[in-house]
Amino acid sequence: MNKKINFIALVAILSFNLINIQASELKKSLHTVLAIGGQMTNMRHLLETYALIATNVSYKAPEKRLLKGILEYEGTINSIEKQYKDKEIVESIKAGKKAWKPVKEALLTSIKDNDAKRMMEEGLFIHANIRSVIKELANMKKYLLNRDNPKDKEEINAVIEIDASSQRLSAHYMMKMWGLPDPTIQKHWDKGVKIYKESIEILKASHYYKEPKFKKLLDRTERHLKYFTMVVTFEDKFVPILVQDKAEDVCKVSDIMGEMVIDEITK
């Protein structure tokens, strides 16, 4: 009888430990997903910062933020490369690094030479080619979410897309202000608004929205979206500092919401 009880207790302990290990691994993977989403946002932030340097907006030292953003992206990618050996991740990192090299070089020219005409040409190149870097980040995010298939994966993806979309709107607002002659700016703006709105609707329909703190945060991101869509209609009157600050606030709010979703998924 004692042997039977001891065996049951051992099985229970092993099962408990296995559940804890699985939860720990899932939390690690979801934090990687958040980090990848953060770099999708960061890529748009680099584009925004380049446009601010080109238009001589010196708020919050854009040159320093550009260098910080470059180091942040490379640090995140190097960390993921060390942790994950999945074929899909390895291939995306390889393709992303290849796409990143010329984009990084173009971004850095803004610090060495801020000639308006040259920066306009580089700006067109960066806008056209930075998408390839973002695409590989999006592929890694999608792969990890599909591989682990956590509950509420739609909700965590929606949080990431709100974050990335806010910076997409800010970046394209700055390019419009700059007068960058790129006919795709409006199309990308419209896509950003669409994804932002759809992501808010996903989270509003979720059980997270019933939690007062989460609701307050999500409503804040919606107010910022309304602000973005209002100020972009102003002709010849630009407010880059206000747009930048509100986009940064969405990033902070999204980080908090992301952690709340991960805690719920892995508890």
- What's the pTM value of the predicted model, to 2 decimals? 0.88
Distance CA 32, CA 35 (A): 5
Q: Which of 78-87, 114-123, 213-222 has the lowest mean pLDDT?
A: 114-123
Kindly report, residue by residue over 88-124, the tens digit of the pLDDT. Answer: 999 999 999 999 999 999 999 888 877 778 889 999 9
Backbone torsion region of residue 152, taken as left when φ is above 0, otherwise alpha when ψ lies between -120 and 50, otherwise beta:
left
| CA–CA distances in Å: residue 140 to residues 100, 247, 255 | 15, 24, 19
| CA–CA distances in Å: residue 135 to residues 43, 88, 229, 242 | 11, 13, 25, 28
Kindly report, residue by residue over 239-261, the tens digit of the pLDDT. Answer: 999 999 999 999 999 999 999 99
Average pLDDT over all residues of the chain: 90
How many residues in the chain?
267
Structural domain spans, the chain: 28-266
